[in-house]
Structure 1
Amino acid sequence: MEQIECRVCGIFNYGGKVFCTKCRSRLPSDVEHMAQAENPNDFHVLRNFIPGHSTKYLRVTLLVLIICTGIALLFRLAGFEVFDPRFESELPASISPTNDTAWRNIHRDSKHSGFTQADFSNIQSAVQWSVDTESHEFTSPIVFDGIVYIGTYTGRLMALDLLSGSVVWEMATGSPIDSAPAMNESKVIVASREGTIFCLDRSTGYVHWKYSTDSPIYAPLTVHNEWVFAGGLDGHIYALDIETGDKLWRYDGSGSLVSGIAVDGRVVVVSYNDNYLRILDRNDGKFRFKYFNTAGNEGASIADGKIFL
């Protein structure tokens, strides 16, 4: 009976077989077999190029890929994902093309960079004006578009003219303000000690919405793009929509929070009083990892894709 040589492993198989009895590769058809008999060297070159055990390696590789894909799908269904800590840069906002004086979050921006491009080397410090807040203590101010915003322990958020110090408007929250306010181009956010977050029109002081938390708020607020971030004394972190006041997510942390929240890109950096720095995903508030800060819990800054303590 005529035998057909397998082009993969070189084993001769009896005629009528479709697949090789050893490596299970497809055998040449009758036409191909005739061509093989006439030009055997061509097929031997192919056989040497593809060694007999390569099929086994290929099957093992495919099996490993299938297993890895299955594991990845299981992790995905379980809610796990690989965290990609992407950072982004905020464009500086200023009240004029030549003066970079915007300071919309504590330490200037949501990254808490504390950096400004303005040159003050030739400016001598001198008191330009002062205003009586009728409070023995007040928060760190923020500045944007010629207006200074400051919260007082008497529970008032005051908007002051940057050049004269005159009161533009003020709003009473009904509870002392311990945390520094934050803002974007149109809205200013402030929180009272009792745990209520207010969103106001930055020009008129009109209250757009209020959101009540379950804990006093002492930590400075942070505004990043259209997101508001607030941390309670109970350790919970809130992410709110600045336009509607809707809660986007809440992270139930442990330990009290009094330091500011730094945000850049997908990264939210929170420093608790247990000296642990916790990193959250901005999109969903999921915990990613933590780092013990031997320097204390004074908060962190983000610059050039790095976290500084």
Structure 2
Amino acid sequence: MVVIAIHHQMSQSIHREMHGKFWRHFVLMSALLLLSISNSAIAAQPDMAPHDIQYVRDGADAWSMYMHTPERTGFIDASIPATPVIKWNASGNAIALCSMVSDGRYAYIAWLSGNVSAFLVESGIRVWTFQTSSSISSTPVIVDDYLVVGDTGGTVYFIERYSGSLSRFVNIGHAIDQHMLCIEGKIVLAGETQMTEINTSGEIINTTDFGERIAVPPAAYLGYIYIATTNKVFSVLNGCVVWTRNISESITALMCSNNKVIITTDTGTVFALDARSGASVWKLDTGCPIYAPPCYYNGALFITVQNGTLYSISINEGTEYWNTTLGAECMHASGMNRDTLIVPAGNTLFFVAQRTGQIIRNLSFDFTLISGVSIVSGYIFVQDNTGNAYCLAAPVPELKIATYPSSMVVYERYQLRISLLVYAGTIPAVNATIMLAVSIGSLSVYTGNTDPNGAFNVVYTAPPASKPVNVTLSLIASYPNYQNTTKNFTITVLPSPKITLVMQAKNTTLEGGTSTEITLIVYRDQTPVANARVYISTSAGSTDISEGFTDKNGTFQFTYTAPNVNNETLVVLTARAYGTMFLEKSCALELRVVPASNAEHFSTMVNTVLLALILILVVLFGMMHLKMRGTLK
């Protein structure tokens, strides 16, 4: 297996072998005509306004071209996640020799196979895909509403970056195998021995032939375009060469700043040339080949050499500020913000403090990094040597979840009310989506949303249990801007306790109409149970209280009044008790009710006889009175 080591050399070799001069064939234009009609895109129109500028040069919201700026500094004034993790990855089934570009909402990837895809930065969802007619080794640029892509067949595609639809195309007559450049409404395309400038409508402005194969991507500075072949540097204005400078070593990279053109070579030399005249300003020998393009910010050049040493060098003097050993081969473009340089080396991203050279952290992967680093505020994009592209971002925070009660214990067959409390940081997560599962037993509800207090209430019904059982309650909570959070809680199910009800009467034999005090005591495993709910019923007679709660001693007292009976009667009192940790338990008490005592019975009989005699006398008196009235007549 051949590991890609030198981006530009490999891409040039591929172009020579695969394509030659086939771009000159007229049949290509016919194929493109069909392509513009039939090329399919899987698209979703975003709800955002398009950029109103032609490219983003220094903004933090987009990485619109290779090395971000026309000068190829690799600098972006954007935030870099402190502890990034892989947020998503995507495959194009081919390696990518291009860096990713992004408008902040979409990330665009062009693979060597000619496949171009757009992904939502936030989620990694593939929004659309487009297939070019030839391979791609040049990083696209974002221009207005378009992603502009150039292939090795010399065709430039203006693809609507929101939908993936082909708007227009033009063939410039030579391969495009160097990373594209956008400056002042112009797009600069380089490949083989030629460089072509087109406007944003796709019209060719001029073409310059340097007579030698172009070795590095062009850069723009002070109104000029700078480009290099293997041993020469050119300054170009409006398609005309302004000056040429011969370099005795093979050129590997070029960038511009501070009135200088910086050149690196495969023998490890760094040259600083005057940007207006091409005159030599200074030269520095690192002693090791340089293949990764330098970065620049605030007067300092950052140069990684092949053996893994990173140098910070004064762009004005060529003197060294510091150097740091990374310990891994450095072959591809870095990226940086005001504080941190991100260097891809082997299978590791090194985060280096740009002022001191201290390695802040490193992030290692199980793959080899290629194609350079791209940065958009809060995100880092990298690619590997098997065709996968990765988006790195700060870890998405988890939701905080608690339960009430915090310790969940329930007896078998009993119900336990549970409140699940969800927090986004310290704030209740209102309307968070909840999904529940339980290993044993059942829940009153399994899905739903939290209330305005961030709570989700559920009732758990415990199964039978002959011994203590730990039950797992699993929860998945979803909430915007937080990762789906999974939590497991333990509910302990205990065997039913031994519940005993003892009901005693002060008198168990009552005469009709009399009363007695009754005491009920509820025990759980021989311990009195306070606050147990009690219900009292009787087969005859009455009680002064029919329901209530046991006191702190587990006691419930009431008064029973017996009915009047003519014969001895057996009365049954029934007590039912419910506790917070047990189901219904009941007991019964039998009382003997007898007729009232004999003295009372005799008095009652006398009263009855006297009443009867009075009635008889009244009747007799009435009859005599009637008879006397009849005699008088």
Code of the residue aligned with 2:260 in structure 1: it is K
What is the TM-score with the length of structure 1 in the denominator?
A: 0.63
Code of the residue aligned with 1:106 in structure 2: it is Y
Q: Is 1:240–2:194 an aligned residue pair?
A: no
What is the TM-score with the length of structure 2 in the denominator?
A: 0.32
Deviation at 1:114, TM superposition (A): 0.5
1:183-239 deviations in whole A, cap 9, x for unaligned? 224222111111111112222222222121333221111111310100121x11100
Q: Is the 8 A contact 2:207 2:239 kept in 1?
A: yes
Give the ranges of 4+ consecutive aligned residues of structure 1 lying more than 4 Å apart after TM superposition: none
Q: Is 1:157–2:113 an aligned residue pair?
A: no
Q: Is 1:231–2:190 an aligned residue pair?
A: yes
Number of aligned positions between the proteins? 208
Deviation at 1:118, TM superposition (A): 2.3
Match of 2:226 among 248, 262, 269: 269
Q: More strand by proportion, 1 or 2?
A: 2
Q: Give the alignment of 1:240-259 within 5 angstroms.
A: 240-242=198-200, 244-259=201-216
Name the residue aligned to 1:202.
Answer: 161
Q: Is the 8 A contact 2:172 2:204 kept in 1?
A: no
Deviation at 1:101, TM superposition (A): 4.4
* CA radius of gyration, larger in: 2
Match of 1:113 among 61, 73, 89: 73
Q: CA RMSD in A?
A: 1.9
Match of 2:131 among 145, 169, 172: 172
Name the residue aligned to 1:50.
Answer: none
Q: Which moved more, 1:264-273 or 1:220-229?
A: 264-273
Deviation at 1:151, TM superposition (A): 0.7
Q: Distance in 2 between matches of 1:293 and 1:112?
A: 20
Name the residue aligned to 1:125.
Answer: 84
Q: Distance in 2 between matches of 1:160 and 1:206?
A: 15
Task: Extract unaligned runs of 5+ from structure 1.
Answer: 1-89, 94-99
Q: Give the alignment of 1:62-101 within 5 angstroms.
A: 92-93=58-59, 100-101=60-61
Helix, strand or coil at the partner of 1:124: coil
Q: Is the 8 A contact 1:182 1:221 kept in 2?
A: yes
Q: Is the 8 A contact 1:184 1:225 kept in 2?
A: no
Deviation at 1:91, TM superposition (A): 5.1
Q: Is the 8 A contact 1:220 1:258 kept in 2?
A: no
Q: Which moved more, 1:182-191 or 1:289-298?
A: 289-298
Code of the residue aligned with 2:151 in structure 1: it is S
1:137-188 deviations in whole A, cap 9, x for unaligned? 3421111132111111221111111121111211110211111111224222
- Relative distance call for 1:264 and 1:207 in structure 2 (3 A) is farther
Q: Is the 8 A contact 2:97 2:138 kept in 1?
A: no
Deviation at 1:268, TM superposition (A): 0.2
Name the residue aligned to 2:486.
Answer: none
- Relative distance call for 1:268 and 1:298 in structure 2 (3 A) is same
User: With CA pairs under 8 Å and 6+ residues apart, which has the higher RCO, 1 or 2?
Assistant: 1
Deviation at 1:299, TM superposition (A): 2.9
Name the residue aligned to 1:287.
Answer: 241
Q: Distance in 2 between matches of 1:91 and 1:222?
A: 11
Q: Distance in 2 between matches of 1:194 and 1:288?
A: 29
Q: Is the 8 A contact 1:300 1:307 kept in 2?
A: yes
Helix, strand or coil at the partner of 2:253: coil
The percentage of counterpart residues that share the same residue type is 16
Q: Distance in 2 between matches of 1:227 and 1:161?
A: 27
Q: Is the 8 A contact 2:57 2:70 kept in 1?
A: no
Code of the residue aligned with 1:147 in structure 2: it is Y
Q: Distance in 2 between matches of 1:139 and 1:91?
A: 19
Q: Is the 8 A contact 2:96 2:110 kept in 1?
A: no
Q: Is 1:303–2:261 an aligned residue pair?
A: no
Code of the residue aligned with 1:166 in structure 2: it is I
Code of the residue aligned with 1:206 in structure 2: it is S
Helix, strand or coil at the partner of 2:252: coil
- Relative distance call for 1:295 and 1:129 in structure 2 (3 A) is farther
Name the residue aligned to 1:278.
Answer: 234
Q: Distance in 2 between matches of 1:183 and 1:225?
A: 13
1:281-304 deviations in whole A, cap 9, x for unaligned? 1xx211011123456322311223
Match of 2:62 among 87, 102, 107: 102
Task: Extract unaligned runs of 5+ from structure 2.
Answer: 1-55, 264-633
Q: Is the 8 A contact 1:105 1:223 kept in 2?
A: yes
Q: Distance in 1 between matches of 2:159 and 2:244?
A: 34
Q: Distance in 2 between matches of 1:140 and 1:207?
A: 21
Q: Give the alignment of 1:42-57 within 5 angstroms.
A: none
Code of the residue aligned with 2:256 in structure 1: it is I
Q: More helix by proportion, 1 or 2?
A: 1
Q: Is the 8 A contact 1:182 1:190 kept in 2?
A: yes
- Relative distance call for 1:210 and 1:258 in structure 2 (3 A) is farther
Q: Is the 8 A contact 2:64 2:101 kept in 1?
A: yes
- Relative distance call for 1:221 and 1:173 in structure 2 (3 A) is same
Code of the residue aligned with 1:128 in structure 2: it is K
Q: Distance in 2 between matches of 1:188 and 1:308?
A: 29
Q: Distance in 2 between matches of 1:146 and 1:298?
A: 32
Code of the residue aligned with 1:238 in structure 2: it is T
